Amino acid sequence: MNPKIILEKGLVYIFLITSIFACTTDDILPSFELTTSNTDLSEDSGTVTLTATLNSSASQQIVIPLSISGTATQSSDYSVSASEITINKGNKSGSVIFTGLQDENVEGVETLVINIGNVQNVLLLSSTEITISVLDDDSDSDSDGVLDANDECPNEAGAIQNNGCPWLGFLINEVLYDPEGDLTGDANGDGARDANEDEFIEFFNSGPELDLSGYKIFDATALASGTPRHEFPSGTIVPSNGVIVVFGGGTPTGTFGGAIIQTASDGLLNMSNSDDFMTIEDASGNVVLTFDVEALSNNPNESYTRNPDLTGEFEQHSGIAEANGTLFSPGTKLDGSSF
């Protein structure tokens, strides 16, 4: 064989072997994301923690410089613990802390816009920008009588008693009319699945304290006969931003997020899986709420709930990311936390 050909083939083999061993996972740079503990920073010594988290442990120290802009002024409106985030070797994250600084100037809501500078030894998959609102406790941007630093809805006028957010009124947040056929349909938590007893309606009172004494719940059949499926007993008081759940029956067992729990006084709510209409009347017979089952009557084997809670449209429970696959959440938010 021609020695030149042998030499050329040998070089090719060496190149391939070198390439294979050079492309190891050690050569893949880690990527990271930025997160904040909050997006609002009160000037009255409030704090926000900005954290950079890697998708794997750092093989060497990584320094992430920060570029800060916006309408807020450093050393006047806020301070920051460092101008860069350091992730030490062997760790997966590092943080800096922004602290609000008190003053007596009326400034309204100001902003901090945080971008990252030139980062070595890290793969940036996309542009990263974090915006933080600096809330001035000397101003009231929406003129609702609640200073921005204490206002949970600083750009929307609301009620002082509701931390500056508007009242939503008395509403239905979740309905289960078709429990799953096995034990996973045991919504009332009494250890047994029952098609009628595990039905429920979850109400939320986004308003001042509400006396439900004498309020009535009807399905279509009950409304026609004038006999309610449930009449709220005397002394049923739902506090501001409180929850009450009415089950069809059984012995509800559990905390249910601290909600008030009742069972239907008629022994069942009798919500049909199709073509039914629920009506809630006050003690004077005025209709205050309705729920049309027909529009959602697809035998879902799970509840329908507002997404997001309280303000959204009704959707099937398990398909919402925050629900983590659960079929219902009587008395709590989608993710199981208390209201």
pLDDT tens per residue across span 310-339: 989 999 999 999 999 999 999 999 999 999
Q: In this prediction, what percent of the chain has a pLDDT beyond 70? A: 90
Euclidean distance between CA atoms 97 and 110, whole angstroms: 18
Q: Which domains does the chain show, CATH number per domain?
A: 28-135 (2.60.40.2030), 169-323 (2.60.40.1260)
Report the pLDDT value the prediction gives residue 143, as an integer from 0 to 100.
87
Euclidean distance between CA atoms 43 and 21, whole angstroms: 54
Residue among 192, 165, 190, 168 nearest 256 (CA):
190
Q: Per the structure block, which two tokens stand in for 301?
A: 């084997």
- Please tell me what DSSP assigns to residue 324: T
**Top-confidence residue, 119 or 81:** 81
Euclidean distance between CA atoms 278 and 290, whole angstroms: 5
Euclidean distance between CA atoms 172 and 313, whole angstroms: 11
Tell whether the torsion through CA atoms of 68, 73, 77 and 79 is positive or negative: positive
Q: Which residues contact 206 (CB under 8 A, 6 or more apart)?
A: 162, 167, 168, 169, 170, 171, 240, 241, 310
Tell me: the pLDDT tens digits for 10-44? Answer: 433 333 333 333 334 445 678 888 889 999 998 88
Where does the pLDDT of residue 125 fall: very low under 50, low under 70, confident under 90, or very high at 90 and above?
low
Euclidean distance between CA atoms 266 and 249, whole angstroms: 9
Residue among 169, 188, 185 nearest 288 (CA):
169
Q: What is the mean pLDDT of residues 164-180?
A: 94
Euclidean distance between CA atoms 113 and 66, whole angstroms: 10
Report the pLDDT value the prediction gives residue 25, as an integer from 0 to 100.
42
What 3-state DSSP class applies to 48? strand
| Run of H or E residues at 12 | helix 3-22
Strands, DSSP E only, in 39-143? 40-42, 47-54, 62-69, 78-80, 84-87, 93-100, 110-116, 129-135
Euclidean distance between CA atoms 224 and 277, whole angstroms: 11
pLDDT score of 239 more than 80: yes
Residue among 201, 175, 197 nearest 186 (CA):
197
Contact (CB, 8 A) for 93 and 116: no
What 3-state DSSP class applies to 231? strand
Contact (CB, 8 A) for 58 and 89: yes
